[in-house]
């Protein structure tokens, strides 16, 4: 009697949160939580120096590994993503943390692994209970760094994920940012986790690495085994275990359609961003380092709308000199000329710190001593940068922009330092553009409300919508508990943008937007209708936004803005934007849905 064939396993569909787009199919590698086997033992007093030496050696190795991760991430995807690990370095260099472990060796007479685990767990739990969102997020950093120190104490320097022998889809309860950053993109097709949010560091790393990813699946890690076939749809947050042949054929057709759309959009590089009725919008690019200019040129951007200069500082072990900065700024200005190169002055603080610049710790650094506040309090650092920007301005396409301005007094003080820098260069007979344009970022509600007081002293505004949204709505956008309240289409945000644009135009100056809203093609009709003059975004977003602009009539965008301004609902505004985008550029909406 012939054996009855084993029926194929039934397909299982799970819905999570798509945090990095893309569709991939492959076998599962189940990454169970890597809890190191903790060896606990009593130690004699004479063993304490040896345990301290083991701990300090593990800290040195851990610090070096984090620096290496930062360097790899910087080279692969940019300094902004690498800056996530500054918080990990703060844990390793926290003397109170280190000294508490060392004291515990003498008090408890237990080996360093045992003492470290207890101290780290106490720190993490205390941080997790705090009301301050920034400090609560640091609990995950403490746990991540502690796992790495324990691996180094045990002589296991690498996790299993770094040693995959063939391409897999990674399934885990959760992934730490350092694990995500070190994934081999040739061996990792995508990943899905039980935990996580769209704004977690792990999700940010997945997007930066262009690895399709889904988080928030709750129990996927107990539903699969290593080797199971899985399909991940990072666009829609769908995961299929044992996908059927029909499902694979369906997604094959979707992939072909998306590739066709992407190919057509790439042909827009030489086309101008002009609406169907003749209104032209400037589309610029955001960059972090001179090496990013290649992608700016490839995308067909109109110059650089935001050069985040702090990443030059973060990439060095010392404060960059005037000459080093001038060389970097000149390289970018020369390569994008005659298009504009807008250089933002140093924006340190918040989530960006210099380990070699001893700045005091703060309970709420996002609202503390940062950006223009830091620069005005450090005139020598500030003027060194201003002189470097001025020297680069001899190319005449360079503009200066001050970040996080909250009142007109800060603008006046910054401009006074700029005049001092000009005088110093005149004494050296160093050439620069005497008529260099100066602008400010409007990312604090007080600046948006008093834009009429600031406008007479600048040549342009640039709305930094990421911070404007979180400061206006009192929402930390990396806090998964309140991330749902982070709504760029909230009526308060729409009105602040409209009022800022109106005030600027009344004073004869132009307005750009350089936050995430600028690179979201669904928002393009609204921002265009509100009267914005320039959008600056990641180079990869330019073809999508350009397609929407070229598919629209400016009158349609104006009508949309008039329609949503009286609305009291962020959801209504977003739906109106989606409806118009879908009507004029359905292919684009399909790609970003």
Is 45-153 in the same CATH topology as 12-34+159-243? Answer: no
Confidence band for 478, pLDDT divided at 50, 70 and 90? low
pLDDT at 356: 44
**Alpha-carbon distance 476 to 366, whole Å?**
10
Selected residue with higher pLDDT from 475 and 24: 24
pLDDT at 12: 92
Single out the catalytic residue among 88, 201, 235, 490: 201
Question: Residue 352 pLDDT more than 50?
Answer: no
Single out the catalytic residue among 341, 375, 514, 577: 514
Selected residue with higher pLDDT from 286 and 476: 286
Residue 443 makes CB contacts below 8 A (sequence gap 6+) with 403, 404, 463, 464, 465, 466, 467, 468, 471, 515
Average pLDDT over residues 22-26: 91
Helix axes 542-551, 570-584, angle to 10 degrees: 80
Question: Residue 350 pLDDT more than 70?
Answer: no
Confidence band for 155, pLDDT divided at 50, 70 and 90? confident
Lowest mean pLDDT among 119-128, 271-280, 435-444: 119-128
Question: Residue 165 pLDDT more than 60?
Answer: yes
Active site residue 514: yes
pLDDT at 246: 94
Measured from the Cβ of residue 255, the count of other Cβ atoms closer than 10 Å reads 14
Lowest mean pLDDT among 13-22, 147-156, 571-580: 147-156
Confidence band for 76, pLDDT divided at 50, 70 and 90? low
pLDDT at 37: 59
- Per-residue tokens: 389: 């920007």
pLDDT at 151: 80
User: Nearest Cα to 495, choosing from 474, 518, 473, 519?
Assistant: 473
Average pLDDT over residues 533-545: 90
Question: Residue 351 pLDDT more than 50?
Answer: no
Average pLDDT over residues 572-591: 92
Q: Which helix (H) or strand (E) holds 240?
A: strand 238-241
pLDDT at 324: 94
- Output the average pLDDT for the chain: 86
pLDDT at 229: 95
Q: Are 26 and 189 in contact (CB under 8 A)?
A: yes
Question: Residue 225 pLDDT more than 70?
Answer: yes
pLDDT digit string, tens, across residues 415-441: 999 999 999 999 999 999 999 999 999
pLDDT digit string, tens, across residues 35-55: 445 778 888 888 898 889 999
Give the end-to-end CA distance of the chain in Å, rounded to a whole number. Answer: 53
Domain boundaries, the chain: 12-34+159-243, 45-153
The model's pTM is 0.68
pLDDT digit string, tens, across residues 283-311: 999 988 888 898 899 889 999 999 988 87
Residue 371 DSSP class: H
User: How many residues make up the chain in this entry?
Assistant: 593
Confidence band for 445, pLDDT divided at 50, 70 and 90? very high
Question: Residue 329 pLDDT more than 80?
Answer: yes
pLDDT digit string, tens, across residues 392-401: 999 999 999 9
- Which of 82-96, 134-148, 183-197, 328-342 ranks highest by mean pLDDT? 328-342
pLDDT at 355: 46
pLDDT at 28: 92
pLDDT at 97: 87
Q: Domain 45-153 belongs to what architecture?
A: Orthogonal Bundle (1.10)
pLDDT at 25: 94
Average pLDDT over residues 342-370: 63
Fold of 12-34+159-243: Glucose Oxidase; domain 1 (3.50.30)
Write the secondary structure of 49-109 as one string of H (helix), E (strand) and C (coil). Answer: HHHHHHHHHHHHHHHHHHHHHHHHHHHHHCHHHHHHHHHHHHHHCCHHHHHHHHHHHHHHC
User: Nearest Cα to 198, choosing from 215, 177, 179?
Assistant: 215
Residue 277 makes CB contacts below 8 A (sequence gap 6+) with 553, 554, 555
Handedness of CA 323, 329, 332, 335 (dihedral sign): negative
**Alpha-carbon distance 527 to 45, whole Å?**
68
């Amino acid at each position: 009697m012939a054996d009855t064939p084993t029926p194929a396993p039934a397909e299982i569909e799970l819905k999570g949160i798509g945090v990095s787009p893309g569709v991939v199919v492959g076998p599962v590698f189940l990454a169970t939580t890597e809890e190191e086997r903790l060896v606990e033992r009593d130690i004699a007093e004479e063993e304490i120096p040896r345990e301290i030496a083991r701990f300090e050696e593990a800290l040195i190795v851990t610090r070096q590994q984090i620096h290496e991760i930062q360097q790899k991430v910087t080279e692969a995807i940019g300094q902004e993503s690498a800056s996530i690990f500054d918080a990990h370095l703060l844990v390793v260099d926290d003397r109170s943390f280190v000294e508490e472990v060392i004291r515990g060796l003498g008090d408890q007479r237990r080996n360093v692994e045992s003492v470290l685990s207890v101290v780290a767990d106490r720190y993490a739990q205390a941080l997790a209970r705090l009301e301050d969102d920034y400090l609560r997020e640091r609990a995950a950093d403490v746990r991540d760094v502690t796992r790495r120190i324990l691996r180094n104490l045990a002589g296991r320097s690498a996790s299993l994920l770094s040693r995959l022998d063939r391409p897999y889809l990674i399934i885990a309860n959760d992934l730490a940012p350092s694990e995500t950053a070190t994934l081999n993109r040739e061996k990792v097709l995508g990943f899905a986790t039980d935990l996580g949010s769209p704004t977690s560091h792990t999700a940010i790393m997945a997007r930066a690495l262009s690895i399709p990813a889904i988080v928030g699946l709750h129990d996927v890690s107990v539903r699969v085994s290593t080797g199971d076939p899985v399909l991940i749809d990072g666009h829609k947050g769908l995961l299929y275990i044992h996908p059927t042949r029909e499902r694979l054929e369906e997604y094959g057709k979707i992939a072909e359609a998306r590739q066709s759309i992407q190919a057509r959009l790439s042909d827009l590089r030489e086309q101008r961003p002009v609406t169907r009725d003749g209104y032209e919008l400037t589309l610029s690019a955001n960059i972090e380092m001179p090496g990013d200019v290649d992608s700016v040129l490839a995308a067909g951007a109109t110059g650089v709308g935001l050069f985040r200069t702090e990443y030059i500082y973060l990439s060095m072990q010392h404060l960059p000199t005037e000459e080093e900065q001038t060389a970097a700024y000149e390289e970018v200005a020369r390569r994008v000329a005659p298009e504009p190169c807008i250089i933002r002055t140093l924006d340190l603080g918040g989530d960006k710190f210099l380990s070699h610049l001893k700045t005091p710790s703060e309970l709420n650094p996002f609202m503390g001593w940062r950006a223009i506040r830091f620069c005005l309090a450090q005139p020598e650092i500030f003027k060194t940068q201003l002189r470097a920007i001025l020297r680069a301005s001899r190319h005449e396409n360079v503009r200066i922009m001050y970040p996080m301005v909250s009142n007109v007094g800060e603008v006046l003080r910054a401009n006074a330092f700029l005049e001092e820098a000009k005088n110093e260069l005149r004494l050296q007979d160093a050439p620069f553009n005497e008529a260099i344009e100066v602008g400010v970022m409007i990312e604090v509600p007080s600046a948006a409300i008093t834009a009429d007081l600031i406008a007479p002293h600048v040549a342009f505004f640039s709305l930094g919508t990421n911070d404007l949204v979180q400061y206006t709505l009192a929402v930390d956008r990396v806090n998964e508990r309140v991330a749902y309240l982070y709504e760029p289409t909230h009526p308060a945000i729409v009105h602040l943008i409209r009022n800022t644009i109106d005030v600027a135009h009344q004073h004869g100056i132009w307005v750009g937007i350089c936050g995430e809203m600028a690179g979201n093609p669904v928002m393009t009709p609204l921002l265009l209708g509100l009267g914005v003059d320039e959008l600056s975004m990641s180079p990869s977003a330019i073809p999508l936004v350009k397609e929407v602009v070229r598919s629209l009539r400016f009158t349609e965008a104006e009508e949309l803005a008039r329609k949503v301004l009286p609305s009291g609902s962020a959801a209504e505004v977003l739906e109106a934007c989606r409806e118009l985008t879908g009507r004029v550029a359905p292919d684009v909406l399909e790609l970003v849905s």
